[in-house]
Amino acid sequence: MSITGGSFQTCVVTLLIATFSLGIYPVRAEDASSVCDRLASSPLDTSRPAGLAGVEQAQIDAAVAIPACTEAYERGAPSPRIVFQLARVFRKAGDVAKAKALYLEASKAGHAVAMVNLAAMIEDSEPEQALDWYRKSAELGSALGQYNLGVAYQNGMGGPVDADKAIEFYRKALDQGDSFAAYNLAVLYDEGTLVDRDMVQAIKLYEVAVKGGNVDAMVNLAITLEKGDGVTADKAAALALFEQAAALGDLEAVEQAARLRKAD
């Protein structure tokens, strides 16, 4: 079975791109923050204004967002959210140094998601500091911080592997509805390397992750059901899960679904 887990999440998310151009005219000072919010707020940032869904990092229009967010930032005493959003915009523009400096500024001001993004940038060069930022984000109640802290403990980033702490923080993230945390927990119990193998727990957690739309969980649960690993074999349910994952673009699931249909 190909089961993977323990990958980090970062907040590479922002808001729907405006349908009009803001790059031609200067943004009015009183509107700068709201424009920055619309162009660069994150779906994972609970401090974003109500009614804004946020946009994926890849969808940020840096050329439009940089002037708005820079003006909002330079108005004096910007909120941690504005600093964080300006960091995201510069990261999209490819200016890693500015993004890192702004993430650090927002992190020091208490922005939990900025802490996660900063930590992700320094994992390789400063693993202990990265672990500390993940920990601080988790302590602020951020599901993203809790999930990433769980991954850090599972992988032994910045310290020894600690399965108990990994499970603790995955559980905290799961309590907030994080399907990635459910999936990683399921993999821990399925693999049985860091904890005793427990397919009853694994299956329950895969099911939670599947409900959250996690494609990898769909594939792993399908494999489990087809083999009857810890559960009564159910090829029809396995096929349905492979087809569900295939519809979401998973190539392995496409192949497995075709194989099962052919076998029938």
Q: What was the pLDDT predicted at 4?
A: 58
pTM, whole model, 2 decimals?
0.85
Q: What was the pLDDT predicted at 112?
A: 98
Tell me the domain boundaries of the chain.
1-176, 180-264
Q: Over the stretch 197-219, which tens digit does the pLDDT of each residue have?
A: 999 999 999 999 999 999 999 99
Buried b (16+ CB within 10 A) or exposed e, 98-126: bbbebbbbbbeeebbbbbbbbbbbbbeee
Q: Over the stretch 152-165, which tens digit does the pLDDT of each residue have?
A: 999 999 999 999 99
**Distance (Å, whole) CA 47 – CA 54:** 11
Tally of CA atoms within 13 A in the half-sphere of 237 that contains its CB: 15
Average pLDDT, the chain: 90
**Distance (Å, whole) CA 34 – CA 28:** 10
What CATH number does the domain located at 180-264 have? 1.25.40.10
Q: What was the pLDDT predicted at 9?
A: 55
**Is residue 16 predicted with pLDDT exceeding 90?**
no
* Domains 1-176 and 180-264 belong to one CATH topology: yes
Mean pLDDT over 245-264 rounds to 94
Architecture of the structural domain at 1-176: Alpha Horseshoe (1.25)
